[in-house]
Structure 1
Amino acid sequence: MKVEVDKNYDYMKLIWPWPVNSFHTGVVARPRPPKLVVNILNVDKDILIDRVEKIKEMKDIYGLINIERITTRENEPNNKLRANVRSISDFIKCKKQGIYSSLTSRKHKVTPSIIHSKKLEIERTRVIELENKMNKYITDSDKYFVNLDNTVSILGDHVSNLDAKVTDIDSKIKKMVK
């Protein structure tokens, strides 16, 4: 069974240790790790993150798992690390306080890892522009059709008047010829 909550307070109540016989069937309640990814900024490119004892220290203190270095397109190391966070409270703590790493002997700023946000925003802007152009085209075409209907109506009246005048002139010519 999966339970989702809207507030951190509710989450904290749910992950609190439950009594041993709370379900009377041996079912254990435990939190499912959320998909929270953070970027750790300004980590020197030369520092290797393969040293197990230092990484274990970061896991224990900050609740980070799957720590890896972000690389460029050319597979060159970047100055950022990416890590998953075990819980929402660890995520909030890392975001607010930053992370002190004994690998670098300094405190690092932490940001949430948001993938493709710029690309999506550009596509959203493009969709809005296209919708605006389409709406303008529809409005203009409606306006032109109304003008065209008026023009055809006026032209029809003129043709009827001209036809009446031609018929009148034609009858006068026939009278004069007789």
Structure 2
Amino acid sequence: MAKKNAHYWYRTLHRDIAYFFLGLILAFSFSGIVLNHRRSIDPQEYTVNTEKIKVDLESDKSLWTPEYMKTLGATITEEPYRDFRDRGEAVRLYFEDAYATINVATGEGEIEYVRTIPVLGQMTILHKSTNTWWIWFSDIFGVAMLVIAITGMFIAKGKYNFKRRGLPLALLGLIFPFIFLFLIR
């Protein structure tokens, strides 16, 4: 049996790791593109119903404890309460499948009942998940992407190798991230 050279191992690692992570590569790529446009489309959820509300909101914000907001939330909806955010002139209460926005001065607002967009919504959640196991898995995925990128540099031989063709293209590809990082914010 012939000895397997480094080129063989670069190709094998590149191919097999890419095959293993293909689903995640596709999910991250597609949902990442959609997240880039989240100002024009919410890729995670859609509104199924909106209702006007009026509540007696305590004007002294120092009394806005999690317990107080949970009690207030129970007067708005039966949805399980999650959290709240003070947004200056408004306060937002978050529920399992809804959120309410209330004007601090008037106590008037609305509650939006939402549903997760099937598949796409779950894929976008992967970008923001803080689950410990997911963080470890996505760190492994990040290392795998580095291996795929590095081994990909050594797959082509001859006039299309990395040194002759890949390096100039890679340097050209670096220009755009640096333009956006340092010139266009």
**Shorter-chain TM-score: what band?**
under 0.3
Provide TM-score, normalisation by structure 2: 0.24
Provide TM-score, normalisation by structure 1: 0.25
Q: Which has the higher contact order (CA 8 A, sep 6+)?
A: 2
